[in-house]
Amino acid sequence: MGDIAIGAICLASSLILIQTGMNIGVALMLLSFVGVWAIKGQVIAGKLLASSVATSIASETYAVIPLFVLMGLFVSSTHMGRDTFDVAALLMRRLRGGLGIATVGANTVFAACTGTTIASASVFTKVAVPEMMRHGYTAKFSVGVVAGSSVLGMLIPPSILMIIFGVIANISIADLFTSGIVPGLLLALAFCTTILMLSYFLPSFVTNDPQALKAGAGGPLGGTSLWSLVGKVLPVVILVGTVLGGIYGGLFTPTEAGGAGALAAFFIALARRELTFRLFWEIAQETGRVTAAICFLLMAAALYAQMLTLSGLPYAVGQWLQDAQLGFLAILIGYLLVIMILGCFLDSVSIMLIVLPFVIPVFESFNTNLIWLGLVSVIAIEIGLLTPPLGIAVFVVKANLEDQSISTWEIFKGTAPMTLTMVAVLILCVLFPKLALLLVGQRWSWW
Amino acid sequence: MSAPSATQSSQLSPGSSAPGRPAGGSSWFGRFTQTLNVIGTILILVMAVAVNADVVGRGGFNSPIAGVTEFIGLSIVAVVFLQMANTLREERHVSNDVFIRLAGEAYPRVVAGLYCSYHLIGAGLMFIVVIYVWPILRQNYEGGYFAGTAGVVQIPIWPFMAIVVLGAATTTIQFLIDSWTQFMRAWRGAQG
Write out chain A residues lying below 8 Å of B86, CB-based.
288-289
Write out chain A residues lying below 8 Å of B174, CB-based.
none
Write out chain B residues lying below 8 Å of A342, CB-based.
none
Residue A201: which residues within 8 A CB-CB, separation 6 or more? none
Min CA distance, A95 vs chain B (Å)? Answer: 30
Contact A29, A299 (CB under 8 A): yes
With cut-offs at 50, 70 and 90, classify the pLDDT of residue B11: very low
Write out chain A residues lying below 8 Å of B38, CB-based.
285
Contact A92, A99 (CB under 8 A): yes
Verify cis geometry, omega within 30 degrees of 0, for the bond prior to A158: yes
Q: What is the DSSP string of A49-87?
A: HHHHHHTTT-SGGGGHHHHHHHHHHHHHHTTHHHHHHHH
Distance CA A200, CA A213 (A): 9
Q: What is the reported pLDDT for B21?
A: 41
Nearest-by-Cβ selection for B2 from A72, A255, A282: A282
Min CA distance, A393 vs chain B (Å)? Answer: 9
Distance CA B111, CA B95 (A): 15
CA-nearest of A388, A338, A389, A397 to A362 is A338
A42-81, pLDDT tens digit by residue? 999 999 999 999 888 888 888 889 999 999 999 888 888 8
Does the distance separating the beta carbons of A18 and B92 come in below 8 Å?
A: no
Q: What is the reported pLDDT for A221?
A: 55
Taking each helix axis as running N to C, give the angle between helix A313-323 and helix A348-365, from 0 to 180 degrees, rounded to the nearest 10.
60
pTM: 0.87
Min CA distance, A123 vs chain B (Å)? Answer: 7
Which of A31, A33, A51, A53 has the highest number of chain B CBs within 10 A, making it the mutation to test binding with B? A53
For chain A, what is the total number of helices (H) and then of strands (E)?
Answer: 24, 0
Q: Is B153 helix (H, G, I), strand (E, B) or coil?
A: coil
A190-237, pLDDT tens digit by residue? 999 999 999 889 888 888 776 666 655 445 555 567 788 888 888 888
ipTM of this complex > 0.95? no
Share of chain A above pLDDT 90, in %: 36
- Amino acid sitting at position B180: W
Distance CA B147, CA B22 (A): 42
Q: What is the reported pLDDT for A15?
A: 85
- Beta strand pairing call for B155-156 and B146-147: antiparallel
Distance CA B100, CA B107 (A): 10
The neighbour count for residue A264, using CB atoms within 10 Å, is 21
CA-nearest of A377, A293, A283 to A57 is A293
Q: Is B146 helix (H, G, I), strand (E, B) or coil?
A: strand
Name the more confident of B53 and A348. Answer: B53
pLDDT over threshold 70, residue A350 = yes
A393-415, pLDDT tens digit by residue? 888 888 888 877 888 888 888 99
Distance CA A111, CA A103 (A): 12
Verify cis geometry, omega within 30 degrees of 0, for the bond prior to A389: yes
- Amino acid sitting at position A142: S
Q: Does A66 reach chain B within 8 Å, measured CB to CB?
A: yes
Residues within 8 A of B (CB atoms), A 194-223 only: none
Side-chain half-sphere of A153: how many Cα atoms within 13 Å?
A: 31
B17-67, pLDDT tens digit by residue? 333 344 345 688 988 998 999 999 999 999 999 999 988 888 777 777 888
Q: Beta-strand (E) ranges in B25-154?
A: 146-147
Distance CA A68, CA A75 (A): 11
Q: Is A138 helix (H, G, I), strand (E, B) or coil?
A: coil
Min CA distance, A87 vs chain B (Å)? Answer: 22
Per-chain mean pLDDT for chain A: 87
Does the distance separating the beta carbons of B6 and A296 come in below 8 Å?
A: no
